[in-house]
Structure 1
């Protein structure tokens, strides 16, 4: 991180630092204490506040001008953000360690703790889940699966201050990331969206806690998703994705509808592959549904359980199980539908989508549905 000396600060930045040192603003003592820690880790020195960064203050002025916000308020908000030392490292892609393993991935999310918590969540929100399905067409098990995979129904919503995470990824995104420029631009927009949301709703930008990437609440919405898709589903006049399970349910359902969820369509079909299946052709589009059922079958992939008469496109989805040369580690295959693809708009991973589906199904089974 590039730090600047106090002598290099503008007068406005100095006034921002004075406000911070004086403890100005509506923050509680506990919030002030959190701002001194990087992701719950070691204490952070004062010269790591973004008020000391010329680039951060220029960004604040530009944001305020473009969004019509009070420049002092924006400078104060960004100036109080703290560089989180570990966050840039967490954004780097993991080193390649061989084939993916669906069974291992699944075991992280399909466990007795999540299933029991999912049963409780479904039982206390049964009417709201039914209302969401009626209004948006998204079945309860998909919403339950999402909230369970994301945060274990609110048990793990993240302990990073959102303002710190977004500022770190805006001004100190790791340059060695293969898509550093595009990803940094993404987080710059998310920081803008977050501050605009706070200003519009009266939310204290110093208070929200979330993931190391700035995702918020039970459904882990990024600020842009909150702005576009979050809704007041409990009718109390405000949107609260931390404390209102009704708002969470309605917002997740609204998100899926916006991305093209089709009511009544399965998410996938089991598939049987012929020995001469055209695997390179079938796998080329990855998880994007690209083949009619007739074309799918002609290339050697037979969708089962009614998939041959499916009324949309299909994708052959491969789920690896480790080293395929080891007996028992052969990949699994499914025929993914457009609704399967919609789930991957929440997280661009077929393994994630299958975990959401399987967790929702396991919770439904535990409830006898």
Structure 2
């Protein structure tokens, strides 16, 4: 999850002993997952002048111990295979919602999601009461991200962030912007780690540096993670309460609207259809229900009375006809977690399938 607004969670965060616990620490529940071996990097960044200059700059701006920052970045190691993973897919690769859905919304995730919901029903209900985010959305996010904690990544976070800060592929069309993003995440990680007694070499995550069951980036940890069970520390690896509360906190910070549907069905009136107009804003809600209909979209029932703005969401299906839905502000909020309409739809559909399984 690579996204970011300072929220009320920051104050609580700064007042607690902060997350990133190593697996060896006492856990709140038995962890059935096998121990994960970290992917090993190669050349340490202690030999790189650019990395050491960055360390000095971070230490000065954040008022951190210079030697500690230099030693921490210096101990990070280049992950040679990670930069190419950041490159966009080659042109000509057709998007296919049906195939994407099949990979994500599968029987294994649905069954695991139902178990997670049953085991954490009270926490999910409290998160909905406090933040307005329904259980199926929280359950959908955690399922899509890490299969409820089964797949959280085995890259050392410090290695991943250093690699993408100092060796981001320059052939990427947005290389400068993405490099700056990862340097900001590395700085956030260092700032957080400096306030704990933990070893900054221990945390594991994705090849992009996302951590825990909800795959928060370091800046999201600092802004949105919450100590939902009030034990004085935030743990997004082993503590389901903090995971659930933090996901709900993130959604509320980005404008989730309580009881608002995320999508509506949509059809088209070919005689009035102005598809270029409907598609121009992409996934950002722009049209009132009336203006949406005036461009040739056909809505029915409650959708015609939707009080907010709508966007036309197109999901390509390879060589087959695309699928379409009308997306609301809440659909757009899901894409703030991962900027993809395919991702957002998979979260919604996995959550709905889990909810249906709960009723059986």
TM-score, normalized by length of structure 2? 0.88
From 77, 99, 112, give the equivalent of 2:72: 77
Secondary structure, aligned partner of 2:337: coil
Of 338, 349, 360, 2:340 maps to: 349
Determine the structure 2 residue equivalent to 1:340.
331
Query: In the alignment, is the contact (CA less than 8 A) between 2:95 and 2:317 conserved in 1?
Result: yes
Shift in Å at residue 202 of structure 1? 2.8
Tell me whether 1:201 sits opposite 2:192 in the alignment. Answer: no
Shift of 1:27: 12
Q: CA RMSD in A?
A: 1.7
Match of residue 314, structure 2, among 282, 305, 318: 318
- Equivalent of 1:142, from 134, 137, 143? 137
- What is the Cα deviation at residue 305 of structure 1? 4.0
1:161 alignment partner, one of 156, 166, 177: 156
Structure 1 partner of 2:209: 214
Please show how residues 288-307 of structure 1 align to structure 2 within 5 Å.
288-307=284-303
Of 243, 247, 253, the residue aligned with 1:248 is 243
Unaligned runs of 5+ in 1: 1-25, 39-43, 324-328
Describe the SS at the equivalent of 1:97.
coil
Distance in 2, Cα, partners of 1:265 & 1:27? 38
**Aligned match of 1:279:** 275
1:1-369 mapped onto 2 (5 Å cutoff): 34=38, 37-38=40-41, 44=42, 48-276=43-271, 277-323=273-319, 329-368=320-359
- Contact 1:27–1:206, Cα closer than 8 Å, also in 2: no
Query: Aligned partners of 1:343, 1:73: CA distance in 2, in Å?
Result: 37
| SS of 1:69 mapped into structure 2 | coil
Separation (CA, whole Å) in 1 of partners of 2:51 and 2:93: 40
Q: Is the 8 Å Cα contact of residues 269 and 305 (structure 1) preserved in structure 2?
A: no
Point out where structure 2 has 5 or more consecutive residues left out of the alignment. 1-21, 25-34
Contact 1:270 1:305 in 2 (8 A): no
Larger Rg: 1
Query: Deviation string for 1:74-132 (max 9, x for gaps)?
Result: 11111110000001000000102343110011111100110011011100100000000
Q: Following TM superposition, by how much is the alpha carbon of 1:53 offset from its aligned partner in structure 2, in angstroms?
A: 0.9
SS of 2:298's equivalent in the other structure is strand
Cα 1:27–1:138 change in 2 (3 A) is closer
Are the structure 2 counterparts of residues 289 and 262 from structure 1 closer, same or farther at C-alpha, using a change threshold of 3 Å? same
- What CA deviation, in whole Å up to 9, does each residue of 1:269-290 have, x standing for no partner? 0011111311010011011110
Judge conservation of contact 2:153–2:207 (CA < 8 Å) in 1: yes
State the TM-score, normalized to the length of structure 1.
0.86
DSSP-derived class of the 1:57 partner: helix
Alpha-carbon contact 2:38-2:204 (below 8 Å) kept: no
Kept in 2, the 8 Å contact 1:291–1:313? The answer is yes
Question: Would the aligned equivalents of 2:38 and 2:154 in 1 still touch at CA under 8 Å?
Answer: no
